[in-house]
Every structure is written in structure tokens, then in C-alpha cells.
Amino acid sequence: MTLIKSISGIRGTIGGLVGEGLTPLDIVKFTTAFGYLCREKSENKKIVIGRDARTSGEMVSNIVTSTLMSMGFDIVDLGLSTTPTVEIAVPLEEAAGGIILTASHNPAQWNALKLLNHEGEFISAEDGEKLLKLAENDNALEYVEYMHLGEYKYDDTYIDKHIALILDLPLVDVEAITQKDFKIAIDCVNSTGGIAIPKLLKALGVKNVTEYFCEPNGHFPHNPEPLPEHLTHISDGIKSGNFDLGIVVDPDVDRLALLNEDGTPFGEEYTLVAVADYILKNSPGNTVSNLSSSKALKEITLKKGGSYSAAAVGEVNVVNKMKETNAIIGGEGNGGVIYPKLHYGRDALVGIALFLTHLAKFGKSISFLKGQYPNYNISKNKIELTPDIDVDEILEAIENKYKNNPINTIDGVKIEFENEWVHLRKSNTEPIIRIYSESETLATAEHLANKIISDIKELVTEKSEE
């Protein structure tokens, strides 16, 4: 069993011993701590919740709901929903916060609580630290008497409200999309994308949709992370059919992956690049992505006269940097698009609407569109170390070894080379260094990653001999 408590929430595998898996007692303690945090931050006694379709979701939702009501909070339950939909609902409901019950791209045995502040954005690192301390202090947990219990309201209208807000965006052109008469295949991994994506496409005027795994029953038919190696079924379907593109989302619908008309990957790094290209053509401005995302975004931003900034990995860090730089579009290279005109959160639904508008106006195939962008390939690796190894010391040694290169240390160590970069980050939960590298060819990116891995192993050997 696995239980991971961090400043961004709690996630784990369902069952097991308290403190070792995601058990009812762990859920109660963490939810109560979040309730205390909401009390401290707001006088409002309302909290919005929603969940993806995984089979443990109803059980977790019942525990979270009852816990918050026992603290005097009124609950607005969106039921089966998406992460961006809950994010939008929190400020519209003028709630003190929100909880999304989803383990995102993790397999079916996992679940998690994603925690939102009153603006519908992920809580800050400072609040996360405070929450962790509260959750461990059983003596501080207190509940209201029966006459002050909160009330419960179920509201399943917010996906429709979310879609309506998307259709109202000036850069979403329903007429252009309708006229193109796209033939689209979708894979929603039997989660809530199966509710939201068909509704969205219908609202955008797309009549010809082939659905794969769109029944929201939580029985994931493949690994739910939308990586090419997990998408063979829809890829084969596109190859044998006559489609303009494929659309794939993860269980909570904050990541968007696209497939070309021949079933090959458009590239999750290029979801943000393509959407940003469309936004920048219509309203030049600044962009943000995290340090592990493709440099293609920086290149198209500079070409359009804007300024690009890199943020530490993590949605909250990207959002903070976007606000700081007044960025008009941003996100992460895992298919996460953040469009502030709608809200500050990764949103596959708005990503789809903007991308289809872009493709419709472009007038050629999706693969031809991909060919318009700088061609880069990312290699993603990790090196496992023994618990006794000082990971920070290793990263510092690598930084020193390449000190003559441009280096960014806001999140691990990112080293720039002439046409490549490599980014090293330590895991917060394991003795692991994640190593991402990018170059014009995958072979070169992998060669660079292997060179850094070799450097790390050499340093580890030297330390063990001291």
C-alpha cells in the first residue's frame, strides 16, 4: 500500500493500514485539516466537491462530504465532474474552497484529494505545510454540535456551465469548427471525460465523433496516463478509419493529448505549443511553461514578440509565474493548457475548443500543422539512488561540473547547451533523480541524458569511496 502526503494534497492506494494506504481515517484527518484551513481563510461556510469516475470515488466522496458537514460546512457536490469544472465552480459558488477527488493519471487503485482555495486554484505551499501539521495533530480536530451541521446540495449542471463559458470566449469560433465538419475519435478512459468531451464537441458543432471508452464507470481499459504507448487502441482505430484527428484525456480531464490523422502522436508537448501559437497570433503577449517543457514554446513566443518565462514544475508554480508576468497563455508540457481568460487551471476542455478553432482556421491537416513548429524531442528518464545518498549534494556537484553553461536552479538543476537542455529534479517522496532532456532528435536527447546519468553514477562512486 502507498500513502503520499504532500503540500499539494493526499494521494494513495485504497485500503491497508492507517497511515500506509488511503484509508477512511486518513481521509477524515486530511479533510478536517482542510476544513480548518478554510475556516481560517474565509467566513464562507460552503465547499465545492467533485470527483472522477474511479470506482472508489463514491466511497471517498461520502467520507469527505460527511466530514465537512460535521464541521458545519455546506456542501455543493458536482458529482461526476472534471478538475477544471470544479475549479471554475468554486468562485462562482463563492465557496471557501474546493476538493477534487481524483488521482489524475494514476491507475485505478489510487485516489486522492486535490485541494483548492477560494479562487478555485491549488492551495499555496505555505498553506499546504500548515495543513500537513494540522492533519497530524489529532487533539486539534473538533466537530460542531448537531444543530450546526452543514447542509448538502447536489448540482450536476456545472459541466454545461463550463462549456457555456468556453463557447463565450472570443477566440473560440464555433462556426469555423462546424464548417470544417471534423471527423474525430476520442478516448476518455471510462472516466468523466466520457461525459464532458462528447457534450463539448456537440456544442462546438462536431457531428461525427467515434467514442472509445466513454462510459464513466471507472474501469480504465488501459493505463490512464495519456502517453503514446497506452493509446494503441484509438491509434489503431484512426489508422483503419478516415479521421481528421484523435483526442485523448486523462481521468480528471486536465491533460489533453492529440493524435494525427494517421494515428501517430501529435506530441503532448505540442498541445500547449499549438494552442499558444493560436492565442499569440490573435493577441500577442507573454507565455509560461515549466522547466521540463519543450523550448518550442519559447521560440514561438519570441518570434511573435512576446516574453517567455520558465516556472518550477507544478501547476501552482506555473500559475504564480503567469500572474507575475501577465502571461496570456501557459501550462505544462504534459498536455496541460492554462488559459487565464477562462480560469487559472489546466483545462483539456478549453484546450480542445481553442485547438479545433486553430486547426479549422489553419485549413490543412493536423500533421501539417505540427510541421509548422520547431521539431524537438524529449527523453524522460530517472536514476534510483540508495536512501543514504545526499541527492542535493549530487545536484550541486552536477551544477558545479557544468558551471560554464547557462544554468537555472529554481527547481533542481537545468543546464542549457547549444541546441539542447537537460533538467534534473529530485523526487519529493523517493531517492530518485528525474532527468529530462530535449534535442532536435530523440537519439541526441537520450545521449545527453545518458551522459548526465553517467556523471551522477561517477559522483556516487566517488562519494562511496571517500
- The residues assigned a catalytic role are 104
| Contact predicate 143/64, CB 8 Å | no
Contacts of 127 (CB under 8 A, 6+ apart): 7, 37, 41, 117
The answer to whether 209 and 201 have CB atoms below 8 angstroms apart is: yes
Smallest CA-to-CA distance from 205 within 189, 184, 234, 190 is with 184
Q: DSSP for 389-429?
A: S-HHHHHHHHHHHTTTS-EE-SSSEEEE-SS-EEEEEE-SS
Whole-angstrom distance, CA of residue 327 vs CA of residue 306: 9
Of 117, 118, 247, 122, nearest to 194 by C-alpha is 247
Is-contact 47 99, C-beta < 8 A?
yes
Cell triple for 389:
545518498
Question: By the 8 A CB rule, do 75 and 69 touch?
Answer: yes
Q: Are 328 and 287 in contact (CB under 8 A)?
A: yes
C-alpha 139/C-alpha 146 separation (Å) is 20
Query: What is the rounded CA–CA span in Å between residue 440 and residue 445?
Result: 8
3-state secondary structure of 338: strand
d(CA 334, CA 353): 18
Pull the grid cell for residue 28: 477524515
Q: For the sheet with 74-80, list strands across it.
A: 3-6, 9-13, 110-116, 97-101, 46-51, 74-80, 152-154
CA distances from 366 to 245, 255, 263, 270, 370 (A): 7, 19, 11, 11, 6
